[in-house]
Amino acid sequence: MSRLSRRNFLKLTGSSAAVGTLSLSPLARAQQDQGPNATGSTTLPYPREVVARLGDVAVNQPVHFNYPDSRSPCVLIRKGREVKGGVGPDRDVVAYSTQCTHMGCPVNYDQEAETFKCPCHYSVFDPDNAGQMVIGHATESLPRIILEYDEAEDALLAVSVDGLIYGRQANII
């Protein structure tokens, strides 16, 4: 009985993985060609929801809403100055999940410091820089709620999420 060395095992399994990946490429391309709502698609569509009217949103005053479902608390902030990823005529409106990426504690918007702070383990997130983690135990930015602005209706719409909401395998359940 011959023994398979670790080196040869890794060569064999590495080659098998490469062949398997290459053989799936045509299947992946076929699914992409079918569109986002195709049967068997792995990407579910996010709902498009009006979360606020821009005229009703005061500068530096948090507006709370849930997205993409009722178990996903979020907050919208109008910064009063252009910020990274901002929408609206002044590109000053952003929104984030309020569940800390460290352990899911609810983060609070500190109006004086203009940051999100987690009271559980003291992580701090910067809404001016795409929700980036500034300090603390968290290792990821806050999930950013992608917004669109409908000028005709003066409406701010949530259309998707950039990042994974804490405690989920997928944002759409």
Domains and CATH numbers, the chain: 46-162 (2.102.10.10)
Catalytic residue among 47, 121, 150, 153: 121
Catalytic residue among 54, 93, 100, 102: 102
Which H or E run includes 8?
Answer: helix 6-33
Query: Among this protein's residues, is 102 annotated catalytic?
Result: yes
Does the pLDDT at position 68 exceed 60? yes
Query: Among this protein's residues, is 137 annotated catalytic?
Result: no
Look over the chain and give the mean of its residue pLDDT values, rounded to a whole number.
85
Torsion of CA 159, 161, 162, 164, to 10 degrees: -170
Comparing 1-10, 45-54, 132-141, which segment has the lowest mean pLDDT? 1-10
